[in-house]
DNA sequence: TCAGAAAGTTAGGTGCACCTAAATTAGTTG
DNA sequence: CAACTAATTTAGGTGCACCTAACTTTCTGA
């Protein structure tokens, strides 16, 4: 139930919302907190824009925000952020496996991640696992890429 | 040179531009022409929006447009549209191979396609080819998905 | 041929996600 | 504890990609 409700959320949230949540969770995990200024720097956007979005995410119930004070993800917000993060990681792992350059991976995943639905994600996940267990085919793929 | 210039174009063009070009080429291939009304119906947007974009694509040199008369892709526009179409097809084939449902494929490719860079596309292409030649691993992937 | 229908264009407006500049609040430290 | 600095918020904008309504042009058939 929690999974299905967060999936529904994920379907409705915009790419921008997903980027914010993902980054906020990451900041909380690494620094222990996520201030407006941190989020702004991390996403390379203005603090004013962050304030706006954070207020919106508060009204949407994804985080709790007190003006000038700070913010914390709600249960719903954290669940959603974790899904987004997992999806990001899965896509990154997949492309990494194929031998794509880190910078390209970063750029492409940043763009694609918001458009991958759960079924597609599951398929890529299953494929990634099989490729990891049986790397023979992967070797050929990388060779093909090196040659051309 | 033509390839690199169209790649540059592709990198600069917005998702909307890419969607228009892709659909225009498809209409030309199937009906022989692409009128404003056709494009609007196909993309499910208003004719007014199409007129606007078509005028923009004309100024950008991607197509030749005569008011009230009709449009034709320029060489640059057609090259770009072909790249976009190829990318779309490749992604569709890849997901199809993994056993993802057609409707999901349609939706996800529609979203992702604008964010896949040439290197990533090449990697997925090489992977798809290997999977087609050696379907053993693919069978396991599909089984995993069926089971869960 | 000419009137109505279909197609296309223009004008003006919306929401989103961003911005800068100018307040305002909070934190620091001499 | 006051003054400076850092952080945040508010106000007012921008560009993009869409919209509707109203107008113009083109096509079609009685």
CA B93 to C1' D25 (Å) is 44
Contacts of A114 in chain B (CB under 8 A): 111
- Kindly state whether B36 is in contact with chain A, defined as any CB-CB distance less than 8 angstroms: no
B19-56: pLDDT as tens digits = 999 999 999 999 999 999 999 999 999 999 999 999 99
**B10 pLDDT above the threshold of 70:** no
Contacts of B101 in chain A (CB under 8 A): 119
Kindly indicate the confidence band of residue B11, based on its pLDDT and cuts at 50, 70 and 90: very low
Distance, in Å, from the CA atom of B19 to the CA atom of A97, rounded to the nearest integer, reads 30
- Kindly state whether B3 is in contact with chain A, defined as any CB-CB distance less than 8 angstroms: no
Confidence (pLDDT) at A13: 84
Contacts of A48 (CB under 8 A, 6+ apart): none
**A22 pLDDT above the threshold of 70:** yes
Q: Which of B69, B84, B64, B75 is CA-nearest to residue B23?
A: B84
Stretch A126-141: mean pLDDT:
94
Stretch B115-138: mean pLDDT:
96
Kindly indicate the confidence band of residue B114, based on its pLDDT and cuts at 50, 70 and 90: very high
Q: Which two tokens stand for residue A111?
A: 């763009």
Q: Are A85 and A25 in contact (CB under 8 A)?
A: yes
Provide the angle, in degrees to the nearest 10, between the axes of the packed helices B75-98 and A118-133: 70
Confidence (pLDDT) at A145: 86
CA B37 to C1' D20 (Å) is 16
Region of B60 on the Ramachandran plot (φ > 0 left; ψ -120 to 50 alpha; else beta): alpha
**A4 pLDDT above the threshold of 90:** no
Q: Are A120 and A87 in contact (CB under 8 A)?
A: no
Provide the angle, in degrees to the nearest 10, between the axes of the packed helices A75-98 and A102-112: 140
**Higher-confidence residue: B6 or B131?**
B131
Confidence (pLDDT) at A148: 74
**B3 pLDDT above the threshold of 50:** no
User: What integer best gives the mean pLDDT of chain A?
Assistant: 91
Q: Are B91 and B113 in contact (CB under 8 A)?
A: yes
**A63 pLDDT above the threshold of 60:** yes
A26-46: pLDDT as tens digits = 999 999 999 999 999 999 999
Neighbouring-strand partners of residue A71: A65
End-to-end CA distance of chain A: 47
Q: Which of A128, A38, A22 is CA-nearest to residue A78?
A: A22
In percent, the amount of chain B with pLDDT more than 70 equals 92
In angstroms, what separates the C-alpha of B31 from chain A's closest C-alpha? 30
Kindly indicate the confidence band of residue B145, based on its pLDDT and cuts at 50, 70 and 90: confident
In percent, the amount of chain B with pLDDT more than 90 equals 88
Q: Do A108 and B99 touch (CB under 8 A)?
A: no
Tokens 């987004």: give the residue. A84
Distance, in Å, from the CA atom of B55 to the CA atom of B65, rounded to the nearest integer, reads 7
Q: Are B98 and B141 in contact (CB under 8 A)?
A: yes
Under DSSP, the state recorded for A100 is -
CA B110 to C1' D28 (Å) is 38
A84-117: pLDDT as tens digits = 999 999 999 999 999 999 999 999 999 999 999 9
The SS3 assignment for B26 reads helix
Q: Are B127 and B94 in contact (CB under 8 A)?
A: yes
């Amino acid at each position: 139930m929690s999974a299905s409700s967060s999936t529904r959320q994920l379907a409705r949230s915009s790419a921008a919302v997903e980027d914010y949540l993902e980054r906020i969770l990451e900041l909380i995990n690494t620094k222990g907190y996520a201030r407006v200024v941190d989020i702004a720097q991390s996403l390379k956007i203005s603090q004013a824009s962050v304030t706006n979005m954070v207020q919106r995410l508060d009204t949407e119930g994804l985080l709790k925000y007190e003006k000038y004070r700070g913010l914390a993800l709600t249960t719903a917000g954290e669940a959603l952020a974790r899904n987004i993060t997992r999806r990001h990681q899965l896509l990154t792992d997949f492309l990494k496996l194929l031998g794509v350059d880190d910078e390209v991976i970063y750029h492409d995943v940043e763009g694609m991640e918001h458009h991958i639905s759960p079924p597609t994600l599951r398929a890529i996940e299953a494929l990634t696992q099989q490729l990891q267990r049986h790397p023979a085919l992967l070797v050929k793929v990388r060779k093909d890429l090196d040659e051309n």
